[in-house]
Structure 1
Amino acid sequence: MKRVASTLHQGALLGLLCIPVAQAATGDAGSDAGTQASPTLKAVTVTATRREESLQKVPVAVTVLDGETLERDNRNNVSSIVQEIPTLNYRPSASNKDSSLFVRGIGTISTSPGVEPSVATVVDGVVYARPGQSTLDLLDVDRIEVLRGPQGTLFGKNASAGVLNIVTRDIPEQTHGYVDYAHYGGGDENRLRFGIGGRLSDTLKGSLTTSVGRYDGNVENVTNGHEVNGYERKGVRGKLEFQPRDDLKLTLIGDYSDGENDTPSVVVKPSAAVAAGISPVVPGNSNRKISSDYKTYVDDRNQGLSLQADWSLANDFTLTSITAWRGWNNSQYQDNDNLAALPVTAVHDKGTVDYDQLSQEVRLTSPKGQFVEYVLGTYLFHGKSDETYRRLSVTNSVGNTGVADYSATNDSYAVFGESTFNFRSDLRGIFGLRYTLDQIEYDHRRVSTSAVEVNSIRPSYASSGSHTDSGISGRVGLQYDLSDNLTSYITYSRGYKGPAYNVYFNMQATDVQPLDPETSNTWEVGLKSSAWSNRLTANLALFHSKYENYQANFYDVVGTSVVTRLINAGSVTSQGVELDYALQATRQLKLSGSLAYTQARIDQFACPSGAAASCDINGKPLPFTPDWKSFVRADYDIPLDNGLDVELGTDYSWQSKVQYSLDQNPNSEEGAYGIWNASVGLADYSKGWRVALVGKNLADKAYAPVLSTGTSTTRIVPRDDRRYFGVQLHKDF
């Protein structure tokens, strides 16, 4: 069956990509080609190369998600978009501080403030340096561009595996406002959005967007009868654009959001002791009940301010400066034992994070249409995290506590640039280079009530250290237009991810040495095509990446408790093929989707001393990366005579089995599954209103976006773990 599926996928790829070649040869795109009445796909513009360019022309593997479509699909944050992007995966956690993103199988799972993420999240040019920052609700999104592979020569902060480039909506010229309200069942979810923007004077425009949301949750705590796994969130985002003269534009953006979620870990495969302790809860793959005596929840606050200045210089050069500050405050409360067993046993945690970052990016962009086109830039970054983590460990009614105070400072300085050499109108060369200097400093102090190691708490310990390292990364390649509708490219990229310290609650003497930088070599071949008078697009990318000194978590033991610690895990390889496509079949029907085969494997694992799991994992898959993943979507519009539109939509995402643990624990493997969604809407766009009925997970499939193993196997229950329906209302004014 796998071989048949693979053959079908290959045949589909070849068929889609051959269409534009045949069109170029025959010049025939159908009987209605070239007429004004012919339906076409909406042109997609991206800023993946720091210029506004057509998605079909940039020599980068990038997937674009439309912001309005995401809102209609109830996909409101980064964690909810992974179903639509086969090469992107996400590790959720009871605390968003411990979340991680993966692109092409590469990502870093760590709670340490002394390590940078492999996948960067960039919002309006500002990097969110800690993964937990990027889990906030998205406001006023125009599009999300997901760039795959190393991205160091065009973006400010280095990104060794990929970038989520989030672009918010431009301020409208004419005053325009809107209000969105949505109610969803399966936990009584309500969301309200309001936005308004327009011109305030001849030189000033402004916009303001707010959002409020509440969700009771879809997990029951049988100890007290409360519903959990929900949230309360609110946020505001404002933008001012000041243009005192034609050659200067200043954009000031401010945002603030706060929220609380009470996401628990739900037992699916218990040990004997845990099974007895959570009765009457019946563990299982579709279990949505817990028995807990301590509320697991997170308070989270994000805020930021950025100023972007764009100067149009002589000879059509553009100088851009982005100055930004971001603050992040996070408090987490964790019931790590998953039991209602006080005063006999317990492992209860409280942690706080106070994080601030400052960044300055300056870019010079040359004019288009020259033999050499380039972007040159410098980037300065300073991040400081202060954290406190407190743990109560009770065994046989004997309690011990440990309190750790630790801080980490990350400073990064870089110069970068990328040039395009237009050898001919159909042949271009690409050359990019980056130099990065990283400085890391940490301080750690833990005080324990026990002089010896006890369950989940090590004895008192203190250490500090600093480290400086540097790296060179870059990209070189060729792009060749096979026809007006088909372009090809081949690139080689050198990736770099800076050194790290494993700074965490149970830090010990083996963690005081810094981790070496992670480096990679990536080859990518791509084809981007359009056909049938721009009614069909198909973009294909083949890639091969080799990573050395891969930074990953592996298992250690503290007392009788299994914990993780960050190590240089050795060498890994990620290779595969990716396809994005869209077809405007008729004026009413649009089909689109993505398909990815990603073979991410461990080549040579560097087993750490004191490992608490098997190190015989060479050749095994990397965590959170199914071999196959796909997404298909169909949208059908029925115009009525009275100006109304009936809008029908459906989508289906599917992935093969996935291993969630580096040590290949069989209890951490999730089988293949698919999720089917659909919607029906009625709209009158001349009067600015729309109402829709949305159905999520119509096949009622329970699944695990993560499985964690310890004394028991637990999962995080996703929002769409069961079938639910909702109503959406939208009004423009």
Structure 2
Amino acid sequence: MKPHHTHLQQFRRSGIRLALASALLSGGISAALAAEEPKETESKKTASEQEAQPSLGIVTVTATRREASLQSIPVAVSVLDGKKLEQSNLNSIQTIANEVPSLTFRQQGGNKDSSIFIRGVGTISTSPGIEPTVSTVIDGVVYARPGQATLDLMDVERIEVLRGPQGTLFGKNASAGVINIVSKEPSADTHAYVDTSYYEGGEKRIRFGLSGTLVPDLLYASINGLWADYDGNVKNVLGGRLNGYEREGARAKFLLTPNEDLDITLIADYTHGTNTIASVPYQSRDAAFNQAISPVQASKGNRTVRSDGKNEITDTNQGISAQVDWRINDYTLTSITAFRTWDNTQNTSSSPIGNNYDLSRITTAYPATRDRGTVDSKQFSQEIRLASPKEQFLEYVAGIYYLKSKTDEVYQRNATTLAGANLVGRSDYGVENDSISLFGESTLNFTPELRGILGLRYTHDDLSFDHIRNSNVPSGIQAAVRSSQPLRKGTTSASEYSGRLGAQYDLSKDVMTYATYSRGYKGPAYNVFFNMFDGNNDTNALAPETANSFEIGLKSAWLDNRLIFNAAAFYTKYKNYQANAPENVGNNVFIYRLINAGDVSTRGVELDVNAKATSRLSLSGSLAYVDARIDNLNCPPTDASCQVNGKPLPFAPKFKSVVRANYAIPLNNGYIVDVGTDYTWQSKQQFVLIPQTDATIQEAYGIWNASVALSTQDGWRFAVVGRNLLDRSYATTLSGNATVSHRFVPRDDARYFGVQVRKDF
């Protein structure tokens, strides 16, 4: 925990904030995050060329497992430019959630419990025996656990958010969508950079990289590194700050080109991070309870806690991969081999006693718990696929995919009762998963305007678990720490099909429409966790989750590619929805158990607009209407009050939008000034599946950001960034009950400013 710096307090009291805000707001326009920017910079064009040729560039994506124009593929995709994400201090999947209206992120106590949602559907569970519903893919490598991708991203070229089931080409854990992250290729010319930034709150970031040719016409390489440190935005009244981090990492990429038909890409990466976590009292219906934890007062804008325990999470994420692309008579054979490890250690504590708490006002029988959990996860994957030549009647991508993953966890809890008894329990458990798939997707070019789409994937899964618990709690007591449990094991398997069927039709050379049906599949699961139930329910495997999705879309370009308008309408029905639900296991003790919760559905409309209004002014906007709801929930037998059919799914705001703009001002000396703004707004959202109460609803809010940057011809860039200029407080997760709820405080919870300096060599 780090002290709050005196110079920072002086900075806040000074008039610098007003000067920065004035500079930012005077531009009235922000750095656009859309990837529709032209590749050629304004400084390389003459003034007359800029005025005569304003247009949007071609965006290339790999959403169909081969390079194609974004406007030509029958998939709803949002594309974010990696360079502009860095400039906006958006450095992880969590921080980009506000940039894509259909995307939301659940921040929980630890990275291993965090989740991604697309179109209102995702996975909430602490069990290692369940897959994510949204797949994260980095340079062709699928990350088996969502927590693996929560650390900082490095050297990103672009992020593609594929909305809706993508099980044909991306696998069984993509039944709601895919986050496809593509890194930059090593450059032929020698290029180096150093990028430093400082933000209020003691946040410091340094990025650096070097790229170029090692052996002419044979070997190219790039290496990138980062270091970041942040004090945190939650004050501990007992001293220090929480909700901060310290991270470091490195990434190396080598491109070997023995001949013009063979590319070999080798990647090695390492990231390490330590987060100090905190959930703060959010609001209370019991004033007496608020007084019991004085001086911390529960409120919507609260950013203080009182804790003498250790709340810290440490992650180490590393891996290597090799991709071989061999071009044979216009066919491309691709092989991707990867091995990854992820180590996670989580230390948390809750409501410690003995620190001036009024115990007579604490109703829970276990006011103090201290938990320590470790995760050791390993995965090996191999993918081989063949892409046919383009511009043929039959175009296809077909292949085979294999994944073997193993996760071992140890979780120990010390719980202190009001009577002073110390209860101790430790669980050792693990999960192994073997999955093999055969897949293929084809495009049938019936005419130059009409194309058919046919894809199919066959997946076979083998899943097993083991679990043992040792405890000093006598048998039969239902408590925060449960009684000992002997070694138990379970094994299951499943074979399922997923696929896609559809058609696309070109109304003109710039307007394309499509209609598709997709079937998604997420494999079987086990509910494996610390307080695993003593009966047989948790040893039974959950059935696979399946999705049937219908989508129609329009992609269009107008005014000589100065305006792009895309739209998609969708309906998806999920069966055997895998979710956590609370169950009373005795003595009014509730445990969240993973179950096949029933049927849920999501439907809605998504709109994306990009415009090059003038050679200097770029505009973009996105809007999503998502109605994700519970159709028929299998309520736990012990919860007669579970009546949520027809209510919204958690983490699914009905409306969400983002608008951006960027105005470039070329100066006479060759310098360029970029000024701009972006604004994100979303309607209220529920954070809990059962029970849904007002205490776990985040009300509607909007976030306004702005930036001003000066770029020089000799590679310098100076920028001032303002985040959350309207100073809106909001939560990324709410949890609790009728007495008190807690929220996780995002980085952008309050207004802050920062400066960035970058030098390219």
TM-score, reference length from structure 2: 0.90
Worse-matched range after superposition: 549-558 or 643-652: 549-558
Deviation at 1:321, TM superposition (A): 0.3
Determine if the alignment matches structure 1 residue 267 to structure 2 residue 281: yes
> Partners in 2 of 1:274 and 1:414 — Cα distance?
54
Structure 1 gap ranges (5+):
1-32
Deviation at 1:247, TM superposition (A): 1.6
Give the counterpart letter for 1:385 in structure 2: T
> Partners in 1 of 2:637 and 2:63 — Cα distance?
42
Deviation at 1:608, TM superposition (A): 2.1
Match for residue 499 of structure 1 among 524, 537, 557? 524
Q: Describe the SS at the equivalent of 2:501.
A: strand
The residue aligned with 1:549 is 576
Q: How does 1:120-159 map to 2 (within 5 A)?
A: 120-156=135-171, 158-159=173-174
Residues 392, 640 of structure 1: CA spacing in aligned structure 2 closer, same or farther, 3 A cutoff?
A: same
Match for residue 684 of structure 2 among 657, 668, 684? 657
Residues 420, 575 of structure 1: CA spacing in aligned structure 2 closer, same or farther, 3 A cutoff?
A: same
Residues 418, 36 of structure 1: CA spacing in aligned structure 2 closer, same or farther, 3 A cutoff?
A: farther
Determine if the alignment matches structure 1 residue 605 to structure 2 residue 633: yes
Structure 2 gap ranges (5+):
1-47, 360-366
Q: How does 1:218-229 map to 2 (within 5 A)?
A: 218-223=233-238, 225-229=239-243
Whether the 8 Å contact between 2:50 and 2:615 is mirrored in structure 1 is no
Give the counterpart letter for 1:464 in structure 2: K
The residue aligned with 2:484 is 460
Residues 525, 726 of structure 1: CA spacing in aligned structure 2 closer, same or farther, 3 A cutoff?
A: same
Whether the 8 Å contact between 1:393 and 1:455 is mirrored in structure 2 is no
Superposed CA deviations along residues 277-305 of structure 1, whole A, max 9, x for unmatched, are 42111110100000012121101100000
Deviation at 1:651, TM superposition (A): 0.3
> Partners in 1 of 2:219 and 2:171 — Cα distance?
28
Amino-acid identity (%) = 55
> Partners in 1 of 2:288 and 2:491 — Cα distance?
43
Whether the 8 Å contact between 1:327 and 1:357 is mirrored in structure 2 is yes
The residue aligned with 1:471 is 496
The residue aligned with 1:282 is 297
> Partners in 2 of 1:35 and 1:372 — Cα distance?
41
Deviation at 1:456, TM superposition (A): 1.6
Deviation at 1:36, TM superposition (A): 8.7
Give the counterpart letter for 2:206 in structure 1: L
The residue aligned with 1:580 is 608
The residue aligned with 2:223 is 208
Superposed CA deviations along residues 689-727 of structure 1, whole A, max 9, x for unmatched, are 100000000000110111011563100011011100000
Deviation at 1:125, TM superposition (A): 0.2
Give the counterpart letter for 1:323 in structure 2: T
Determine if the alignment matches structure 1 residue 729 to structure 2 residue 757: yes
Determine if the alignment matches structure 1 residue 245 to structure 2 residue 259: yes
Whether the 8 Å contact between 1:567 and 1:608 is mirrored in structure 2 is no
Give the counterpart letter for 2:705 in structure 1: N
Match for residue 164 of structure 1 among 179, 192, 197? 179
Deviation at 1:564, TM superposition (A): 1.5
The residue aligned with 2:199 is 184
Q: Describe the SS at the equivalent of 2:85.
A: helix
Q: How does 1:344-423 map to 2 (within 5 A)?
A: 345-396=367-418, 397-423=420-446
> Partners in 1 of 2:173 and 2:115 — Cα distance?
16
Deviation at 1:617, TM superposition (A): 0.5
The residue aligned with 1:90 is 105
> Partners in 1 of 2:601 and 2:147 — Cα distance?
27
Q: How does 1:634-645 map to 2 (within 5 A)?
A: 634-645=661-672
Q: Describe the SS at the equivalent of 1:700.
A: coil
Whether the 8 Å contact between 1:249 and 1:310 is mirrored in structure 2 is yes
The residue aligned with 1:430 is 453
The residue aligned with 2:595 is 567
Match for residue 620 of structure 1 among 612, 634, 647? 647
> Partners in 2 of 1:415 and 1:309 — Cα distance?
19
Whether the 8 Å contact between 2:580 and 2:593 is mirrored in structure 1 is yes
Larger relative CO (CA 8 A, sep 6+): 1 or 2? 2
Whether the 8 Å contact between 1:215 and 1:230 is mirrored in structure 2 is yes
> Partners in 2 of 1:36 and 1:272 — Cα distance?
63
Superposed CA deviations along residues 431-480 of structure 1, whole A, max 9, x for unmatched, are 00000101110000011111133432221123210000111010000000
Q: How does 1:515-530 map to 2 (within 5 A)?
A: 515-530=542-557
Determine if the alignment matches structure 1 residue 449 to structure 2 residue 472: yes
Q: Describe the SS at the equivalent of 1:56.
A: helix
Q: Describe the SS at the equivalent of 1:82.
A: helix
Whether the 8 Å contact between 2:606 and 2:624 is mirrored in structure 1 is yes
Whether the 8 Å contact between 1:94 and 1:296 is mirrored in structure 2 is no
The residue aligned with 1:329 is 343
Whether the 8 Å contact between 2:441 and 2:455 is mirrored in structure 1 is yes
The residue aligned with 1:717 is 745
Residues 130, 35 of structure 1: CA spacing in aligned structure 2 closer, same or farther, 3 A cutoff?
A: closer
The residue aligned with 1:698 is 725
> Partners in 1 of 2:283 and 2:522 — Cα distance?
36
> Partners in 2 of 1:210 and 1:342 — Cα distance?
45
The residue aligned with 1:10 is none
Q: Describe the SS at the equivalent of 1:569.
A: strand
The residue aligned with 2:509 is 484
Whether the 8 Å contact between 2:172 and 2:523 is mirrored in structure 1 is no
Q: Describe the SS at the equivalent of 2:169.
A: coil
> Partners in 1 of 2:509 and 2:354 — Cα distance?
66
> Partners in 2 of 1:66 and 1:195 — Cα distance?
18
> Partners in 2 of 1:281 and 1:35 — Cα distance?
57
The residue aligned with 1:689 is 716
> Partners in 2 of 1:408 and 1:349 — Cα distance?
21
Q: Describe the SS at the equivalent of 2:71.
A: coil
Give the counterpart letter for 1:668 in structure 2: T
The residue aligned with 1:3 is none
The residue aligned with 2:73 is 58
Q: Describe the SS at the equivalent of 2:427.
A: strand
> Partners in 2 of 1:383 and 1:561 — Cα distance?
33
The CA RMSD measured in Å over matched residues stands at 1.7
Q: Describe the SS at the equivalent of 1:133.
A: helix
> Partners in 2 of 1:222 and 1:386 — Cα distance?
36
Give the counterpart letter for 1:330 in structure 2: N
TM-score, reference length from structure 1: 0.93
Give the counterpart letter for 1:535 in structure 2: R
Whether the 8 Å contact between 1:445 and 1:461 is mirrored in structure 2 is yes
The residue aligned with 1:22 is none
> Partners in 2 of 1:556 and 1:341 — Cα distance?
32
Deviation at 1:63, TM superposition (A): 0.4
Whether the 8 Å contact between 1:303 and 1:326 is mirrored in structure 2 is yes
Whether the 8 Å contact between 2:583 and 2:636 is mirrored in structure 1 is no
The residue aligned with 2:6 is none
Give the counterpart letter for 1:461 in structure 2: Q
Q: Describe the SS at the equivalent of 1:81.
A: helix
Determine if the alignment matches structure 1 residue 590 to structure 2 residue 618: yes
> Partners in 1 of 2:204 and 2:681 — Cα distance?
28
Q: Describe the SS at the equivalent of 1:720.
A: helix
Determine if the alignment matches structure 1 residue 106 to structure 2 residue 121: yes
> Partners in 1 of 2:492 and 2:521 — Cα distance?
16
Q: Name the count of aligned residue pairs.
A: 697
> Partners in 2 of 1:227 and 1:389 — Cα distance?
26
